[in-house]
Amino acid sequence: MKHQDQVVLVTGAGQGMGQEIVRHFASAGAKVVAVDINTDAVNKTVEALDKPENALGLTANIASSASVKEAIENVVEKFGRLDVIVNCAGVGSFDSFLETPDEHWDKVISVNLNGTFYCCREAAKVMAKQGSGYIINISSTAAMTGEGPSHYCSSKAGVMGLTRSISRELAGNGIRVNTIIPGPTNTPMMADVPDEWTQQMIANIPLGRMGESTDIAKVASFLACDDSGFITGQNIAVNGGMAFL
């Protein structure tokens, strides 16, 4: 199978997009590590797999560098290596710019940007020793259009810049780094968006539908194998034509 015996870590794996990415890689032969801040949710993700014995569920707070470091160490201890990391964990809140509380700004930046940085850094340390690896970050079309809360758009734009920078630095270590930029996607996070906003977003998508988590998982799979061997440092929009880089 395409990802046979790869060790693949996915953050935000307790639900939605992250959960589907775990399932997709597991079905393609990978040994998967599901990471989430919610212990019950991540355990359910692992238990639902066809071969849960080939998986590991970890509770971690990616906004804490120490927590991320411990999680990566646990992966290496169990599987001996780390081939792929998909940084899917993210948070948001509906705040107008002028009324954004400091604590909301800090939380969104801490999880979405700082957390992605911590995960990239710790994973890359392992991958550099191996001489190979794939880092896949998840941004958002909101970072391209600015149609969203300022903290969320800023954090996701930062992820795109992080990808461009570290892809150059890590290429010599055999590590490829890319970002997927989903458009509006059917996930639990989207369920909190008012229906009026959702319908307006769909009206702006040329393909006429919201994305599904499987759309994102398939692109992650492509970026984590030799099929995409000459692609690194790229921000790849998967948004039905909603916006262009």
* pLDDT at residue 79 is higher than 80: yes
Tell me what pLDDT residue 244 has: 86
Which of 179, 99, 81 shows the shortest CA–CA distance to 135?
179
Longest Cα pair distance anywhere in the chain, in angstroms?
51
**Residues of the domain holding 98:** 7-238
pLDDT in tens, 81-134: 999 999 999 999 889 999 999 999 999 999 999 999 999 999 999 999 999 999
The answer to whether residue 243 sits within a structural domain is no
The answer to whether residue 225 sits within a structural domain is yes
Select which of 152, 177, 220, 224 is catalytic.
152
The answer to whether residue 245 sits within a structural domain is no
* pLDDT at residue 210 is higher than 90: yes
CA 185, 139, 112, 155 torsion: positive or negative? negative
Give the count of domains, the chain. Answer: 1
Tell me what pLDDT residue 213 has: 97
**DSSP string across 193-244:** S-HHHHHHHHHT-TTSS-B-HHHHHHHHHHHTSGGGTT--S-EEEESTTS--
Task: Say which CATH number the domain at 64 has.
Answer: 3.40.50.720
* Residue with token string 């710790």: 122
pLDDT in tens, 222-232: 999 999 999 99
The answer to whether residue 1 sits within a structural domain is no
The answer to whether residue 200 sits within a structural domain is yes
* pLDDT at residue 8 is higher than 90: yes
The answer to whether residue 244 sits within a structural domain is no
pLDDT in tens, 151-177: 999 999 999 999 999 999 999 999 999
**DSSP string across 94-129:** ---GGG--HHHHHHHIIIIIIHHHHHHHHHHHHHHH
Question: What does the mean pLDDT of the chain come to?
Answer: 96
Mean pLDDT of 60-64: 98
Report angle CA 236, 162, 142 to the nearest 5 degrees: 50
Radius of gyration of the chain (CA): 17
Tell me what pLDDT residue 189 has: 76
HSE (CB half, 13 Å, CA atoms) of 110?
11
Residue 152 falls in the annotated catalytic set: yes
The answer to whether residue 2 sits within a structural domain is no
Q: What does the block give as tokens for 198?
A: 């959702």
